Structure 1
């Protein structure tokens, strides 16, 4: 049986790193991509140690030419792309008022535009082969807005809306399955990146925002101390959910990755947990 192949973005650390290994261990040909292949040493080591069917490719989700080059390389080698896993992203916590234009554009480029352009690049091939699957990491922040995370949440909300709209017509017409995977907290370098991009590179909240931010930090710390095991998942735990979605013949449009994430989003999701009711309603209304 021919292996399915999967293109994964952002595989240097965290969920992307764990997903590359896990998919390879489950009989997928993995194209593991990252912006800077100098950060691939840990993945190269695992490939060699475990003899994994993983090929490394450069791909910067903020650069359309880089995306198209990676996709073309895969098509030239395999003639198809079975699964796209839009994993690359970056956290960002800062007030709108105190964010620079460059920061606002950056958080949107990395977390939303990158998903759109990667999806745009694979769609022609999936459409022609009349099969494919696009899985995107969003976050509980793609469903629930949170203090000091409005720019990040806005980008993730955009991914949710984009994927929901796309699913209303490409799934039935071209057999391209669409899913959003929605983790809560993840104990990976993603969190470190978010802190570095905000608190380290500049003051996250000052002036009248400072007392609100201090309450926000205290609340976060309290939740982490009281329920760390429930709130924070490992990259491997989230990757395992992604694998189950990829192996599902009828995957959900939306899936949370933990009980904590499920409870956190309950008011948004309880009427339609996996998003299928709304998509069916949209199809019946427009198509």
Structure 2
């Protein structure tokens, strides 16, 4: 019997590529997205390649939407093997200049969505005594970065959430827990991040302007000088996600490129995949 996988945020980027890649590797894929009007590109690939993919509506900021999608999968298959928490959104703005609405939004999309999707699948995985939860976080979940502190804060939260889960659900219920940590990705995620960046007057004046200009210049320099080493395609990251899903003993943490590995080295050198830390947590608390 095929394993089935629920992937959030599949209209573009890593989620889109993951849906196709998993389907081509003998998974039944439930590809979810907030706005089904953005499903045309995926529908075309499904038709062209006769892929075993079903598209469902799922808004990670709405609990009823999450529960409905999970219940649909259980009603059809009676099980859920893999959850890929992919949906997220970039955001770059100073804490001082971000609105209350923006702060709540970036946390809701990037952290609360992961928690509520995970909460929705856990009862079924616990009862079947098997399952896997993979959250696509970021190097920003390990290393805070200028003008990205609100985004990084949400991703740090995901890392802590997943680490805490791994300490007890893996042994007790055979549920595997992993964080996939990309660096730069050349997808519409970056476009989204730029759109959410304050470029319409927010940084054109004031004391933040010279810092922001240096930040943007550094981004542009990295993009032009080392695009191949810094920026991955959505497909390259999706391949890492698939590899983790197929791994009988997946790591808690895995970076997706040499650049990401080097960028996080000071945080990860003592325990690159998180295995030692999880074992220490178990010994300390359980």
Taking the aligned partners of 1:205 and 1:275, their CA distance within structure 2 comes to 42
Per the TM alignment, residue 203 of structure 1 is displaced from its structure 2 partner at its CA by 2.4
Q: 2:31 matched to which residue of 1?
A: 32
Give yes or no for contact 1:95–1:205 (8 Å, CA) kept in 2.
no
* Aligned residue in 2 for 1:236: 235
Matches within 5 A, 1:81-120: 81-120=80-119
Distance 2:201 2:188 in 1: 19
CA distance in 2, matches of 1:108, 1:169: 25
Q: How far off is 1:226 after superposition?
A: 1.5
SS in 2 for 1:207: coil
Pair 1:11-2:10 in alignment: yes
**How far off its partner does 1:221 sit?**
1.1
Structure 1 match to 2:156: 157
Alpha carbons 1:198, 1:204 under 8 Å: kept: no
How many angstroms does 1:201 deviate by? 6.2
Whole-angstrom CA distance in 2 between matches of 1:133 and 1:275: 16
What's the secondary structure of 1:146's corresponding residue? Answer: coil
- 1-structure distance, mates of 2:181, 2:60: 20
Structure 1 match to 2:269: 270
C-alpha distance in 1 between matches for 2:227 and 2:212 = 21
Describe the SS at the equivalent of 2:56: strand
CA deviation profile, 1:252-278 (whole Å, cap 9, x unmatched): 000000000000000000000000000
1:114 counterpart SS class: helix
Whether 1:283 and 2:282 are equivalent positions in the alignment is yes
Matched, 1:48 2:47: yes
The structural deviation recorded for 1:222 is 1.3
Residues 254-265 of structure 1 mapped to structure 2, 5 A cutoff: 254-265=253-264
Judged with a 3 Å threshold, the aligned counterparts in structure 2 of structure 1 residues 209 and 215 are, in CA distance, closer, same or farther, namely same
Q: Normalising by structure 2, report the TM-score.
A: 0.99
Cα deviation 1:202-240 (Å, max 9, x = unaligned) = 625641000000011111111122211000000000000
Once the two structures are TM-superposed, the CA of residue 199 in structure 1 deviates from its matched residue by 3.3
Structure 1 segments of 4+ aligned residues over 6 angstroms from their partners = none
**Structure 1 residues 200, 209: CA separation in 2 closer, same or farther (over 3 Å shift)?**
closer
**Matched residues in 1 for 2:161 and 2:64: separation?**
22
Distance in structure 2 (CA, Å) of the matches to 1:219 and 1:244 = 32
Partner of 1:6: helix, strand, or coil?
A: strand
Instruction: Indicate if the aligned counterparts of 1:95 and 1:204 stay in contact, CA closer than 8 A.
Output: no
Question: Which stretches in structure 2 are left out of the alignment for 5+ residues?
Answer: none
Question: Aligned equivalents of 1:202 and 1:111: distance in 2?
Answer: 26
**For 1:54 and 1:18, how far apart are their aligned partners in 2?**
12
Cα RMSD of the aligned pairs, angstroms, is 0.9
Using the TM superposition, give the Cα deviation of residue 200 of structure 1 relative to its aligned residue in structure 2, in angstroms.
5.1
Distance 2:46 2:203 in 1: 39
